Amino acid sequence: MLAALAAGVLGPAAAHAQPDAFPFGKPAIGKKLYAEKCAACHASMYGGDGSSVFTRADRKIHTAAALLAQVQFCNQRTRAGLSAEDEQSVAAWLDQAYYKLKK
């Protein structure tokens, strides 16, 4: 019913639109959180500024859901203390800066 309403009011494309993978994510906040909570670990694991894990040819993240799941995994594993909104913000920034995933 809701899809039919969306199709009628917003046109056919809206009925098939993908929901935002990071609805509460704010990339500017994510960039700051990454610098504070994530960058040092990434640098120690991957060298340099740690961004090579995002740009390598054989990267394992190919969907927005997988990106968010990886951020959540890292947050839990390192006990970084990020809230759910923080996790979405970090994922939104990583997507904007590196991944450019289809949502």
Give the residue-averaged pLDDT of 26-47.
Answer: 94
Give a yes or no: residue 19 inside a domain.
no
Q: Are 64 and 100 in contact (CB under 8 A)?
A: no
State the residue range of the domain holding 76.
27-99
- Structurally, the chain folds into a number of domains equal to 1
Write out pLDDT tens, residues 23-35: 999 999 999 999 9
Write out pLDDT tens, residues 58-100: 989 999 999 999 999 999 999 999 999 999 999 999 999 999 9
What integer pLDDT is reported at residue 92 of this predicted model?
A: 96
pTM of the model: 0.79
Which DSSP string do the residues of 40-53 spell out, in sequence order?
A: HHHHHHHSTTSTHH
Q: Which domain CATH number covers 44?
A: 1.10.760
In angstroms, the CA 99 to CA 97 distance is 7
What integer pLDDT is reported at residue 20 of this predicted model?
A: 81
Give a yes or no: residue 21 inside a domain.
no
Give a yes or no: residue 9 inside a domain.
no
